Structure 1
Amino acid sequence: MKRFLIFGIGLLTCVSFHSHAAQTAQARLFCLSLRFQQGIYRGLLGDVTLDLSTIGLNTPNGELAPTFSSPDHISVFHMGDASSGETIEDGVLHLDVPAFTDANSNGFADFFEVSQAVSGASSMGTYDSPGVDSGTIGATWSRPAGTKDGTCVLRFTSRTLGPIGDFTHPFELIEYAGTMIYTPAATNVSGTLGLTNSGDATSQLSGAFLFIKSGTNRFNQLELQPGVWTNAAGSLTYTNDTFLRDEAVLTNYYGYVEFDDGDLSTPDADYLTWFLSIDDSNDSNGNGIPDFSDDIGSANARSPLLTLTRGSTALSLSISGTLGRTHEVQQITSLDRTNWTTVSSVTLTNDPQSVSLPLPPDAASFWRVRVL
């Protein structure tokens, strides 16, 4: 993305960097909704089933959807007699997922990572069947590391009747992981993604993407533009969303992906809200900003030629490079260090052009020039 020439007293080293080549970042996309299979309570008087849905009691889609409030997930439920099929109770449940933990220190909740285990985690919620009953729900969650499938036991306790039963549900974490091939430009980042379902290697999600860099915070904020990604079920349309660079994990970018319909296998729109994490370890110029959002050096800018001359009171650095381009002079006292300090910046109006530098007080110093 930029070009440098590094040299010091008695040392001359050239380092060149590419500018517009496609690069690869790692990506993980996961749904904030959980998919619940039918739960069963095996009581003394027979089995009772529990189905969840966000699209109607007659069409259970198993979705426990995010609310972005407290409790943090919601669904309607249908409780029925397994033998007769008669309705026992219909209502709405609000349920928290387990509290945030981050064993791998990547900034994301372990609960929503297939690679991380969930063992006996608990959470609480409430339920309400208008005119019939209401009460509390206790949830116990388990899922082995490396698998999308887990078990959740929902314990219903009526405010009037006491414990109703423990419903055991298989549940699924919906996650895709893979790569994003991107090409950065001055104001945007474009490319294609190819992701694989973490629980089904035959299930793929792919498509093009375009991010627009923020005009005021280009390194740390981008806007995902509306687009379409495709999986085996069909085309998933998404809208625009803001992505931010993580302040703690500086190689990571994150943001929401809002699909018009995230599960085309059901009759109505559901599984809408997803989260995309982008990890880019590419840093061509070594300035700590991933190439995904870093400034782009022009392919027409040539690597500068440098000549250092020592005078009695100062150093004279002669820079031969591309006219009109800004050349940033940086200094360090040891090549074992990484904390380069910018000591001068000049836009070339002559070729070559001289820059005056103070004599270093230390025995050795090194300089490099970055072309912006």
Structure 2
Amino acid sequence: MHAKATGLLREVEQLALPTDGPPNIDTVRALCHDLRQPLAAIMLLASSDGGDVRRRMDGILEQAQWLSDMVEGVLGDAAEDLPTNLDVVGLASRCVQLAQPTARCRVSFSGVGRALAVAAPVALSRAVNCVLDNAVRAAGPGGHVTVEVATTGAEVTIQVIDDGPGLGHVPPNNSLGLTIARALVSACGGTFELRPGTLCGMVAEIVLPATRSPGGSGVMRLLLCDDHKPLLDALSMALRDRGHTIVATAIDPDEAVEAARKHQPDACLLDVNFRHTNGLDAIGRILAVSPDTKVVMLSGSISRSLMADARAKGARGFVGKEKPVGVIIEALEIAHQGHLAVALLKQERLSPERL
């Protein structure tokens, strides 16, 4: 296993050499940079003797799963790393756990409860890993790195704090790390700042727009539109059980527009694909007759281009059709609060409890 990991690292390094090759070479070089830490962890865990074998194998599996997620998120067309509502506390905690096997200093985590933000999970994980790797190198043997997550008002903040000698006093290992982190955070709609610590070391801060926890939106007046009546019935029952009011249901966009005109609902759950028409074309028509309605799109397949088109037309949320009813309700509640709600149909990631 050690030899295979070493060979993979060398192959990826060859891809990262400066060339006059294809225009996506920067993406490959960035991916190569991010592969180093998990591959090093796999090699370390595989070469260790004694100890809890089951625990080491679980560690190798976790690192390998992260590698797979990262490669698919960066290079795979079928598994696009789309923005979603995610728990930043769980994500950052997992990044710390993945970094600990190879860290030569103490790495600790501070974060309580859930801190919800809309971001691309793989992109944000890569950004945190890049910043964390830089901090671990700066702290050095015997040092300490702390990762803290907090919610302040409308923002979720991730701080990576090291007690190293500070900027300019650490030999550069790779100039890509912080550049990659800044670009990835920007792609998630956040900001990245690097500044001196209070007494020593550095503070790397990632700030993301927060989404509120579901359940605080109050009673919603809802319009549901889908041409699959069993789904409409199930959603109606679940939403009523949650205390919300279903003002109307519709089986095609024309009915939905008329119902929106009549009832002025707080939110509308609108299917994307109908037998003879497209739900996207109805977004503007619904908002024209009921401007305060938050439209959440429901679909079995949501791509970046679809999300861009729907957002341009005024949609405030996207949810995968095969998501549990509770997730669909959560998306409606978050959109009702005025935030972008995203719960996409894609491969399920680890729940916050397991991250």
| Category of TM-score, reference length = shorter chain | under 0.3
If you compute each CA radius of gyration, which structure gives the higher value, 1 or 2? 1
Relative contact order, higher structure (CA 8 A, sep 6+):
1
Give the structure with the larger helix fraction.
2
Give the structure with the larger strand fraction.
1
TM-score for the superposition, normalised by structure 1: 0.24
TM-score for the superposition, normalised by structure 2: 0.25
